[in-house]
Chains A and B, each alone.
Chain A
Amino acid sequence: MIPERLFNWGLLAALLAFVIYAQAADETYWITLSTRAVIFAIAGIGLNLALGYGGMVSFGHAAFFGIGGYAMGILASHAQGYTPIVDGWVTVNGTQNMLVIWVVALLAGGFGALLIGLLSLRTTGAYFIMITLAFGQMFYYFAISWPAYGGEDGVIIYIRNGFPGLNTMDPVQFFALTFGVLTLVLGLMHMINRSAFGLALNAVRQTPERVETVGIHTLRLKLTAFVISGMVTALAGALFADLNKYVSPAMFSWSISGEIMIFVILGGVARLLGPLVGAVVFVFLEEVLGGLSEFWHIYLGLLLLLVVLFAKGGIVGLLTRKEVRHG
């Protein structure tokens, strides 16, 4: 039907147009919603690399989402409280500079993914799903029980972190910032897909044994993909924390892992802009359906069920009609 490239550019343009309209109509809440969708999309793009392209069904990606969020929460809360994080042999102060926070979030997410990946990728199939879920839960319970950063109550950041040259408290500027990050991440994914690494990853998903015989170390390949995936989702987590000006253990919960999977599936697994489509649909349903009926989750469930059972390529698949072999 529609060529996928045209669809992708069209979707990005439509989103921009919507936000410009919202700005003109002084509907700041719509801008906040759009930012929410963009951030969810980035989280989903991260997962998509591991799950869609790499075939690793990680049910614990909330661990990285939360790591990114808490990276922001810890740095910013110390900065706003004027207390150093570590004050001994070396003094480490907090910061409210987004650029620094993003670097920390990326590194922390990557490190976490490295550790979790090293332990989890020894297993396959259902065991992999379960062990990634378990790691997500571990982080969740740890965050709840850790009193230093509020435990269950989380951390509130009163003023959104700063980005040089922008007033991040202004909703439309913050949206522009996250949109910029989205395009960067999409560009990265596009490059990965076309690279030798991406092709090998695709092959590993489909026939791992054959790839091994060619001499490529599949574990190293999958681990690399997993680490990049964790880093991207962690970045989304830091942005999410900034959007809400609030971090809590809920960011680690398994229902978040499930929701990130929903964005990816609804939109279309292994589609470049699948997660954006899925995130937009999800946020739309959440707001509109949520306003009409307090039981909107049932409709989300039915939609998800129908997509999984009958529309294998997700929404992007339906609209562009090009099948991507998955599984």
Chain B
Amino acid sequence: MTFLLIEQVLNGLQLGVMLFLISAGLTLVFGVMGLINLAHGSLYMVGAFAAAAVAAYTGSYLMGIIASMIAAAVAGVLIETLVIRRLYGRDHLDQVLATFALILIFSEGTRMVFGSFPLYLSIPALIAGPVTLPGGLQYPLFRLVLIAVGVAVAVGLYLLITRTRLGIQIQAGEADREMIDALGVDISKLYTFVFALGAGLAGLAGALVGTIQSVQVGMGEPVLITAFVVIVIGGIGSIRGAFVGALLVGLTDTLGAFLLPKATEVLFASADIGSVLSSMLIYILMAVVLVLRPTGLFGGTT
């Protein structure tokens, strides 16, 4: 049983770090630019499709991954300059609707180009198959790689934000937008960069997750909603919050789905109650956090 528990914890961590990759961009964009971007899930999808297309064309998985980040970042820059720019300072309703419109456009556009069938990526032989962890548990190597990538990105972002000049500008932008504009920082370039960075990370997540699951139109939306739950729990604008929130959500969702049905089976003789509860669990978690701390765990006072 402990092996099972450890394996499920690892699964939860893997889900968590992938959620972090997506949420980091979302929270940065909201924190720095004050913008709710529903189209973030579409950027995730764009990355996945780019990876699948390029990997199939070149035969190289690595090329596919690089392509996913570039394609998503480029798509990000495109929509930032054409659409998003007009929405800074508009009220949230307009941002929600305009970016919702973008989701429709991206989804149908992708369907027009790639068709309605899912695409599939193959795990390269080098990182395929199981490895035996100390203690004897077998676990897929690729999922361990995902956890490693996620942690690496978290560390990298942390260093970027705290140790580089760009990072200081981002922090300052989150704190007081008008001030850094007055101080001579090129706001529009900063915004475009932040948006592209977030997009690239989302695209990478799409490619990585698409490898184990599948690449299809509409894959971004369920993930988007979960990402919003993550950043609201963590506190909008906080990378640290996104990381903690992502791990919290990943573990809660995975362990909840696994344990709750068994628990209610024992307590109430019905696994169905547990299934129902586990599917609602992360939203209950979010509602509880918001009621206790209306701006999230690490959020500032807004």
Contact = CB atoms under 8 A, between A and B. Distances in A.
Direct A–B touching in the complex (beta carbon < 8 Å)? yes
A125 B104 contact: no
B276 to A, nearest CB: 4
Contact residue range for chain B? 35 or more
Interface centre among B30, B97, B272, B296 (most CB of A within 10 A): B97
B281 to A, nearest CB: 9
Nearest to B286: A134
A57 B95 CA distance: 11
Nearest to A148: B272
Chain A's interface size range is: 35 or more
Interface stretch (B107-115, B160-168, B180-188): B107-115
Contacts of B232: 127, 130-131, 134
Interface in B206-220: none
Interface string A117-131: 001001101110111
B283 A298 contact: no
Contacts of A123: 290, 294
Nearest to B276: A145
B294 A141 contact: no
Given A127-B290, A145-B275, A59 B112 contact: no
Interface string A56-74: 0101000000000000000
A135 B283 contact: yes
A308 B279 contact: no
Nearest to B35: A126
B83 A305 contact: yes
Given A126-B92, A298-B112, A301-B108, A138 B283 contact: yes
Contact of A138 (B92, B102, B108, B284): B284
Contacts of A129: 36, 92, 96
Contacts of B97: 261-262, 265, 304, 308
A288 interface: no
Contacts of A255: 221
28 contacts: A57-B96, A125-B92, A127-B296, A129-B36, A130-B286, A133-B228, A134-B229, A134-B286, A134-B287, A135-B283, A138-B283, A144-B279, A145-B272, A145-B279, A254-B225, A261-B93, A265-B93, A297-B104, A298-B104, A298-B112, A300-B101, A301-B105, A304-B100, A304-B104, A305-B83, A305-B102, A308-B101, A327-B93
**Top 10 A-B pairs, shortest CB-CB distance:** A301-B104, A298-B108, A145-B276, A141-B279, A304-B101, A305-B101, A301-B105, A327-B91, A301-B101, A138-B283
